[in-house]
Structure 1
């Protein structure tokens, strides 16, 4: 084989150090964005590394530093808009500081169960963990402690670790009180779940707030109008259709509160298929402000999903890079707001 046909030798960190006139340690710090490197030196090292097409070996970097520069993001589902949006926001925040995401999708074959974290999944693979609306078992919490992994929760609190979330009860109160302010008294709810589902806190908290808001306004709760649902648009459409066909026009609910926008979409679709008009025949309100909510004219309570991901990622990065200990008592609430569109009107 001629010299011109031979594959080029891969550049090493030693080559970069020699060409830049600095030590190997300085090259490592410069390329990892660490302190104690002047801006001029960092710029020179980056330029030389690009010219030599140098690529750092993640394995070698991990062995040398004891860090993987990877954060484990643990979710009960990845097919839902909320979780996908959170992962995107977290990944962007981590990437900006030289870290990356390793996803752990714990979705099982049934809605009311999930897979579990194990030492084989986490050990020497991640520097920290962010959980997404996931109640952790005692065994999983003990595993994080044993591996000394800093962790931050989003949504469902994790004992002994900081949490970033919205006030679910307040969000549901805003949604329900908006319907009441428009004159609705026959209000149904969709989004109740059994107590053993894998992500139980948010559904139960929102349902409880719905019931408390009705009671505060002297409105009786009709249990047959509280619909169990697996939090998908398809399931919501099926349950809403069954509800609306069980009652005459004079007896059925005039409004539905959906615990998520995706379920609200299903409720709106069911009404449409039955020849009902939203909002003249049925008002619908959701929670989330899904990317499709504006297009479909859904009145909803907006939660800033991107901000939740950013805050959680920055808390964890502070512990990993800036020696800022995580305060387990910190509970950061990201505010919500009612967004009024076209899906709510006074009852006829």
Structure 2
């Protein structure tokens, strides 16, 4: 038998010292490329294999990583350990695995036992808050903390933004209209769970909601405990409509309890994915904490330190992803399908539109969500289209609202016009597909909007092949600034040629100086007839009702990110200028377009908020019960915007609870409905007599 080559044999063959051979085979970067190649050639020629036991005796440590996790039976840590082991073995490093059962004392014992076996590094999922024993027991040893341990100084840590994950999960549930959201967590000794709960509480605070103590459970470390907690929550006098489960073990228990109780109406978001989560019905929405990238980052870090790289301690934070699969939306909608779903009001998810002008903060505050901060710091999400079956001009699909089950509202209405609109299918066939007779928006002007105009129905039929023009109205929800204003109508007759010259020159001052400036305040309702030049000033937040179209002719585009080509509906300015009303409006005519309602009004009947001349196009009413008789709204399609408080809509299919920030699509099949509770909401409806009036009404001029 040929004797096994030794390090001395390699050193002689390569013409280098034993120390240099050791540096090369241990991956040190303190050797030149030429020398490294010479040594590695000798290693290959002699078939040299290191003796790790001898190395351990010399250095006091081995090429072995001690991996200490909660439990290898936990799918998350099983996957993490598997990836670490694959990466370590690829570099001729062994792995010893130990589990803690989430016990602080057991963790310390397992770590000390691994140190007695001369491991060369530790990768640890820590428990508790005091890990000074590591510094005493293993001074200078490479140690990487994984999944948690941010608060422990002096160590590398690899994990995710747990608080952000809790925040995003809860915001998702809030955006789908839920207000009673339960939190299922576990031991406060686990900082990951604490941070996820902090995100949950932060999202509630953003929505103006105080946490309900009876909805917070911190005893759900295993599936059985979570199932029992869920059953107890469902028995509360006011049970939750949604649950945020802070770990996948608890989520399994929640799913089991909900299915046993036949309560698929309760929404669920899980922090962490689990087997078959995407195969359930509804599939479970998750904050995806993939153990693979965590394991890879931790292994790369600990292996680099084992190879002698001197690196300062670093917190490595990996991104999370919210994977929407359906269970995070309104569960009642999942429990129903077909025409049955069209019998009751449906809570709609947010449908915010990016635009060429700034704004959107007020929409986010009302609706309870937050957008990422843009690179330039300017938020340009100033419109939310509510229950929209109309898309943005030139961008097919953009702006269309979706139901919680993912279907377009437009398609649902088209499939069942009788339930949604009270219109027989043969009559609905004469309308645009899925038409509801109106478009409702929230519009938050973070800057003055450009001077623009909308065509009337006659122009739209002739040039745009559409039965709708764009008469619109604004109800002022809030204002900021010293003189919040809107501009509408010319103060004097304007010659078409002169206006065209000013448009070509983008002479904003000239245009504004010839328009009526109207100071506005919350509670103002303003009708804007088609053809009227107008602009909304900075700091004005409105609910907008309009004909269901997106026809806008920009006379002024230079104050926004819009362009000349986007300003004339693709028809060219010579043609679209014919849609502009060049005639002067008197002060009395302008005044007739504005009505004011005290924002604090309460009444036992719905309160109209717009001038009567708006009725052929759309109707807007405030429902704010005074504690006596209940406001009643006639059957018909409606869009409800809940401005404040909480209450109940009661129709032919029973009561539906509503709360501030929600937007609901109310079908005709819900019948006449009443509003009760301490709530203030807007009921937005198509014009009186719609759709019969569509072919005949061109509206006030």
Scaled by the length of structure 1, what TM-score is found? 0.79
Find out whether 1:175 has 2:159 as its counterpart.
no
Aligned to 2:461: none
Contact 1:33–1:98 at 8 Å: present in 2 too? no
CA shift at 1:188, angstroms? Answer: 0.8
Deviates more, 1:111-120 or 1:303-312: 111-120
Find out whether 1:254 has 2:241 as its counterpart.
yes
Aligned to 1:190: 184
Deviates more, 1:120-129 or 1:231-240: 120-129
CA shift at 1:10, angstroms? Answer: 8.6
Contact 1:31–1:46 at 8 Å: present in 2 too? no
The 3-state SS of whatever aligns with 1:107 is coil
CA shift at 1:73, angstroms? Answer: 1.6
Number of positions where the alignment pairs a residue of Structure 1 with one of Structure 2: 320
Find out whether 1:13 has 2:2 as its counterpart.
no
Aligned to 1:266: 253
Contact 2:27–2:307 at 8 Å: present in 1 too? no
Find out whether 1:162 has 2:156 as its counterpart.
yes
Find out whether 1:143 has 2:136 as its counterpart.
yes
Aligned to 1:209: 199
Q: Mark the CA change 1:226 to 1:42 in structure 2 (over 3 Å): closer, same or farther.
A: same
Rounded to whole Å, the distance in 2 between the matches of 1:69 and 1:136 is 29
Deviates more, 1:221-230 or 1:63-72: 63-72
Find out whether 1:298 has 2:292 as its counterpart.
no
Task: Report Cα offsets for 1:215-267 as digits up to 9, x if no partner.
Answer: 220123211111233422222112212221x136xx32111000012212211
CA shift at 1:105, angstroms? Answer: 1.7
Rounded to whole Å, the distance in 2 between the matches of 1:293 and 1:113 is 34
Task: Report Cα offsets for 1:79-109 as digits up to 9, x if no partner.
Answer: 212222222222222222221222232227x
Deviates more, 1:168-177 or 1:112-121: 112-121
Deviates more, 1:20-29 or 1:285-294: 20-29
Higher helix share: 1
Find out whether 1:93 has 2:93 as its counterpart.
no
CA shift at 1:46, angstroms? Answer: 4.3
Scaled by the length of structure 2, what TM-score is found? 0.42
Find out whether 1:337 has 2:321 as its counterpart.
yes
The 3-state SS of whatever aligns with 1:116 is helix
The 3-state SS of whatever aligns with 1:68 is coil
Contact 2:176–2:330 at 8 Å: present in 1 too? yes
Q: Mark the CA change 1:274 to 1:113 in structure 2 (over 3 Å): closer, same or farther.
A: farther
Rounded to whole Å, the distance in 2 between the matches of 1:220 and 1:120 is 47
Rounded to whole Å, the distance in 1 between the matches of 2:131 and 2:59 is 30
Rounded to whole Å, the distance in 2 between the matches of 1:151 and 1:166 is 18
Contact 1:27–1:45 at 8 Å: present in 2 too? no
Contact 1:225–1:243 at 8 Å: present in 2 too? yes
Task: Report Cα offsets for 1:22-67 as digits up to 9, x if no partner.
Answer: 6895887776566656558636744763xxxx86543123234554
Rounded to whole Å, the distance in 2 between the matches of 1:337 and 1:294 is 15
Rounded to whole Å, the distance in 1 between the matches of 2:82 and 2:306 is 20
Contact 1:131–1:153 at 8 Å: present in 2 too? yes
Deviates more, 1:262-271 or 1:221-230: 221-230
Contact 1:227–1:239 at 8 Å: present in 2 too? yes
Q: For residues 209-288 of structure 1, what are the structure 2 equivalents within 5 Å?
A: 209-244=199-234, 246-247=235-236, 251-277=238-264, 281-288=265-272
Rounded to whole Å, the distance in 2 between the matches of 1:131 and 1:161 is 11
Q: Which has the larger radius of gyration?
A: 2
Q: Which residues of structure 2 form unaligned runs of 5+?
A: 333-701
